[in-house]
Structure 1
Amino acid sequence: MRRKGKGTELRNQTYKSDARKLAYKMFVKDCKSRARKLNTEAVRFDPITPAAITACLPWLEAALFPWESVSNWKCKDAKGLDLAIWYEQKLCGLCYATPRKSAICIKIILLQGHPDRSHPLRGLIAPMALLATDTYARMLGCKEIEIQDPGPNVVPYYQNLGFSFDQNNRLVIYLDD
């Protein structure tokens, strides 16, 4: 179990920042290997800021996710990973994941892509968020990622990404060592 106390908050902030940076690098490498015609220099993996919350307000008609609550969650949950995925000045996706009080499992609490079907990262938001969450989970020593309360319409999509239901009916993916 990791030590709590002096330096823990700074360590967690460093892990989150490093996870976003490493996930971006892996995303760029994957795009190059798949010969995707995408300007990867226009993609950013950032924390969720007030600008991201403002940019997602028009999405509220598409899904009623409480993105405006993330700033409060971040204050209360030092290990929570917040991710805003941008393409140039367009917010394309948001994700919030947390291990809460677990050293084994990190849960993706909220994940949403821009509802505009023509945004440049369409179909990539969940894999990109999973990349960042996986990287961060490994830094924390977690062994699994769980999708919290997935809607029935998205379960097949997550299963295509490698998630499956465990014996407790949780939609999880296990991390290899």
Structure 2
Amino acid sequence: MGDGLRYQEYRSLARKRVEEVLLGQPSLLKDGVQADQVRMEPITPACVEASLQWGDSATLFPWECVQRWKGKDRRGFDLAIWHASELCGLCYATPRKSRLCIKIILLESQPGCSHPLAGSVAALAIMSTEFYGRMLGCREIEIENPVFAVRPLYEALGFKCMLGSRLVMKIDP
């Protein structure tokens, strides 16, 4: 199997694994949220278009660039988090030239608390990235240039502040 196909399979497996975890442990989601309605998919142009519907306070990041990045970064990991037909979050991570660290480059949740996965998007994205990173043999996840206001959330999810402003979480083998 060629490298490109192998990484595509890893991405697919990581997304599917999170869906399986949620079905087996629905308590990871807020009360009333049906785990069988949560989908993890690649970021497509339709996802980018859906994110534009989040309103003026949304889309802090250049999601429209992800398609181009995916073409150049065969090990990159893209994730769209859906609940039924509602896009709740987007994430892009890559190990770039590293064999030890996968970096979450972009992570954004639909603004506000009205969507079903409010408060869960970061945890789901990190879980997916961790599964993918583990398949690549990475030993840590780093949040690249975290938004200052969100740092406490990442720390609550297990990230530690390292040298300067690096936020890092170890990946267990």
Both proteins in one fold, TM over 0.5: yes
Using the size of structure 1 for normalisation, the TM-score is 0.91
What letter matches 1:65 in structure 2?
Answer: F
In 1, are the aligned partners of 2:22 and 2:28 still within 8 Å (CA)? no
For these two proteins, the number of residue pairs brought into alignment is 172
TM-score (norm 2): 0.93
Match of 1:172 among 163, 168, 173: 168
- In structure 2, the gaps of 5 or more residues are none
Equivalent residue, structure 1, for 2:4: 9
Q: Which residue of 2 aligns with 1:25?
A: 20
2:104 pairs, out of 87, 105, 108, with: 108
**How far does the alpha carbon of each residue in 1:82-127 deviate from its partner, in whole angstroms, 9 at most, with x for none?**
0001111110000000001100000000000111321000000000
Contact 1:97 1:106 (8 Å CA) reproduced:
yes
Which residue is equivalent to 1:124?
120
Name the SS for the 2:138 alignment partner.
Answer: coil
Q: 8 Å contact 1:27–1:128 — kept in the other structure?
A: no
Counterparts of 1:22-171 in structure 2 under 5 Å?
22-32=17-27, 36-59=31-54, 61-63=56-58, 64-171=60-167
Runs of 4+ in 1 over 3 A off after TM superposition: 32-36
Which stretch has the larger CA shift, 70-79 or 28-37?
Answer: 28-37
Gaps of 5+ in 1: 1-5
Paired with 2:142 and 2:67, the residues of 1 have a C-alpha distance of 22
CA contact (8 A) 1:143 1:176 kept: yes
Q: Secondary structure, in 3 states, of the residue corresponding to 1:11? A: helix
Contact kept, 8 Å, 2:26 with 2:34, in 1: the verdict is no
The alpha-carbon deviation at position 68 of structure 1 amounts to 0.5
Q: SS of 1:176's equivalent?
A: coil
* Percent identity (aligned): 49
